[in-house]
């Protein structure tokens, strides 16, 4: 069991639920519903982690909406990834930035993300507090989709990215648990 804990710490998954025994009835509900044993659960965790790393994107864009759980960002401002702006994840809205008109998102790790995205799990900082129309440049890991209301009953569904790999993996594993039997 100690080797498993060390592996989790190294993988950044220390917050994932640890199962004591296959026959233990105190397992978390999300693992009881979809996985029949520990090996299947940890295989799903590792597969999800690999997918999150493979599909990570650089979120570089303007904050267009601030929600209690995160930010809606219009991503695709690739010229934000330049000196001296690259020293911080949060860039004031007064910085000069523009979108490339014909930019297409590639299906490669660390390529710039294009379009509206929901970004959560921002870095903690005492002095860097995001404001509306500021810019962000962060590596984001896919964590599903997010739906929010913009005006009245108009709903938008956008891609959800987390700036924290462990949180993205945990979100995806919880979402997939009822689907896997």
In a domain, 179, yes or no: no
Res 155: pLDDT: 93
Which residues face 52 on adjacent strands? none
Maximum Cα–Cα distance across the chain: 59
In a domain, 155, yes or no: yes
Q: How many CB atoms lie within 10 A of CB 160?
A: 22
Q: How far apart are CA 180 and CA 13, in angstroms?
A: 21
Res 142: pLDDT: 96
- Tens of pLDDT along 12-47? 444 444 333 333 344 454 444 466 778 888 888 999
Res 39: pLDDT: 85
Strands 135-149 and 155-162 come out as antiparallel
In a domain, 6, yes or no: no
In a domain, 26, yes or no: no
In a domain, 44, yes or no: no
Res 76: pLDDT: 94
Range of the domain at 89: 56-169
pLDDT < 70: residue spans in the chain: 1-35, 177-181
In a domain, 1, yes or no: no
DSSP state, residue 116: E
In a domain, 32, yes or no: no
* Alpha-carbon separation of residue 40 from 7, 25, 75, 99, 158 (angstroms): 16, 17, 36, 44, 30
Task: Determine contact, residues 150/112, Cβ cutoff 8 Å.
Answer: no
pTM tops 0.85, yes or no: no
Res 171: pLDDT: 87
In a domain, 27, yes or no: no
Res 177: pLDDT: 63
| Domains contained in the chain, number | 1
């Amino acid at each position: 069991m100690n080797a498993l804990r060390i592996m989790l710490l190294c993988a950044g998954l220390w917050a994932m639920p640890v199962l004591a025994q296959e026959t233990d009835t105190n397992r978390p509900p999300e693992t009881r519903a979809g996985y029949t044993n520990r090996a299947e659960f940890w295989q799903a965790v590792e597969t999800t982690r690999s997918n999150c790393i493979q599909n990570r994107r650089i979120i570089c864009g303007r904050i267009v909406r601030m929600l209690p759980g995160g930010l809606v960002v219009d991503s695709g401002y690739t010229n934000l990834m330049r000196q001296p702006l690259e020293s911080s994840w949060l860039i004031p809205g007064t910085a000069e930035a523009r979108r490339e008109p014909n930019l297409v998102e590639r299906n490669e790790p660390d390529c710039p993300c294009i379009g509206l995205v929901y970004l959560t799990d921002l870095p903690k900082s005492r002095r860097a507090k995001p404001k509306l129309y500021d810019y962000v440049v962060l590596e984001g890991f896919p964590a599903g989709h997010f739906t929010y209301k913009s005006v009245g009953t108009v709903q938008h569904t956008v891609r959800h990215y987390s700036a924290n790999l462990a949180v993205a993996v945990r979100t995806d594993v919880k979402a997939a648990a009822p689907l896997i039997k």
